[in-house]
Copies of this chain bind each other. A is one copy, B any other.
Amino acid sequence: MSDIIKPSILPGFMELLPEDQIVFNQLKSIIEETFKKYCFLPIDTPVIEKGEILFAKGGGETQKQIYKIDKGEKNMALRFDLTVPLARYVAMHSNEINFPFRRYHIGKVYRGERNQKGRFREFYQCDIDIIGNETLSLYNDAEIPAVIYEIFQRINFSDVTIHMSNRKLINGIIESIGIDNSEDALRAIDKLAKIGRENVVEELASINIDGDQAEKLLNIISFEGSNEETFKHIKSMTVTNDNFREGLAELELVYDYMKKFGIPDTNIKIDLKITRGLDYYTGTVYETFLNGYESIGSVCSGGRYENLASNFTTKRLPGIGLSIGLTRLYYQLNEIEAFKNFCDDVPKTSLILPMSGYEDQGIELINELRKEGVVAHIYLEPGKIKKKFSFADNLKFRYVVIIGEDEVAEGNFTLKDMMTGEQQKISKKDLTQLLK
């Protein structure tokens, strides 16, 4: 009994009080409802995967962050994203699922990152992907951001900008400048917003891209203007390679259809600086920023990959996906106090409060209310009335219903509106009507 262990959690893990958890869950639920509205199907894969699956790609920063399981001689680890499990799932069940396969997945992933404010080692990802069998039309690249746009609309934060580019196009531009190691160049320019132009030039120099080439490349991708002007700027280049031509055609089509899918032009930005550092993207790439809070970084990113599951199957499975880092998004929206208008934190619920000796009448009432689907709580602990009302206050019940001697004699209830402080006698019928 004397050996009390101080209760605590590991650093880098998020844990909320119930009132905040309710807001978090509302955000999660809006995301899920929107995914379902667009006919994405749910999957839920094990958090623990075989090591050979998670390490299939080899190398990489993320893989160093993997949490391994220490149990017997088994080779097990916690997933670090939902994309590798998707690749494994689609390859494993390819004969049982229908292509194009639209799936959503909301689940926790694990990364042993360096500890820093606003970064979490356990976090929810909310992913949508559409996987084709051999081919997948470009319309999908346009529809997926429409889902994201609707989510931000629903949480009253439609002031977002979806930045978009195309990997083939940028590769074509890099090629035209005479740079061969386009992967490394992409990784360097992906850091532009974070580390600034000078440092990118330095990094490009370190991979043998000379100053002239670097300047030329950075001038092209840093172009600022309306989407129309950006397309004019791109088309004014005298580049003729296949990558450039294909990439430009894809970007134009996807941009065009994003607008047709209902995303306003003001919420889209053709932005050649967006490359997505990860090397598996091969076409469309997106990043989403909250206007006025660009320093937070992208809250939703993704893109097109030509072959999802090459480690697990010989089938060619092209796909397009977008991912919201929910835990981080919640943290960020909370920091900028964006939930004030989003969620009504006074639940419309009521507390039934029988006086001592009138518990049975209280239970009778709550049974009837619950039969009508009313969300209600009955307080049956002994104690002073003051204590009971402070419970109602603390838990922010909207209404308190009192049952005691008078009420039973008169055959009614006393209803207190905790927001206005008003108190009135009310019949059971009217009460049920009010709370329903």
Contact = CB atoms under 8 A, between A and B. Distances in A.
Interface stretch (A284-292, A338-346, A367-375): A367-375
Nearest to A87: B7
Contact of A382 (B14, B78, B137, B377): B137
Nearest to A42: B21
Contacts of A100: 381
B21 A44 contact: yes
Contact of A48 (B13, B38, B102): B13
Contacts of A381: 100, 132, 135-137
B5 A53 contact: yes
Contacts of A50: 8-10
Contacts of A43: 15-16, 18, 21
Given A69-B70, A97-B18, A7 B312 contact: yes
Interface stretch (A88-96, A173-181, A199-207, A410-418): A88-96
A394 interface: yes
A122 B8 CA distance: 24
A360 interface: yes
Contacts of A380: 137, 139-140
A43 B45 CA distance: 22
A378 to B, nearest CB: 7
Contact of A70 (B70, B97, B375): B70
Contacts of A98: 391, 394-395
A58 to B, nearest CB: 10
A336 interface: no
A17 B47 contact: no
A108 B381 CA distance: 32
Nearest to A394: B98
B97 A257 contact: no
Interface in A124-161: 132, 135-137, 139-140, 143, 150
Interface residues of A, number: 98
B37 A375 contact: yes
A311 B17 CA distance: 21
A56 B5 contact: yes
Contact of A93 (B17, B103, B313, B395): B17
A246 interface: no
Interface string A72-91: 10101010000000011101
A45 B17 CA distance: 10
Contacts of A47: 47, 108, 122
A114 interface: no
A228 B140 CA distance: 65
Of A38, A47, A69, A93, most buried by chain B (CB within 10 Å of CB) is: A69
A91 B367 CA distance: 32
Contact of A1 (B93, B310, B394): B310
Of A8, A349, A376, most buried by chain B (CB within 10 Å of CB) is: A8
Interface of A: 1, 3-10, 13-19, 21-22, 24-25, 36-39, 41-50, 52-53, 56, 67-72, 74, 76, 78, 87-89, 91-93, 96-98, 100, 102-103, 108, 110, 112, 122, 132, 135-137, 139-140, 143, 150, 257, 260-262, 309-314, 349, 359-360, 363-364, 367, 370, 373, 375-378, 380-382, 391, 394-395
20 contacts: A7-B87, A7-B91, A9-B50, A9-B88, A10-B74, A13-B46, A21-B41, A21-B44, A37-B370, A39-B377, A47-B47, A47-B108, A67-B69, A67-B71, A68-B69, A69-B70, A70-B70, A71-B112, A260-B364, A262-B370
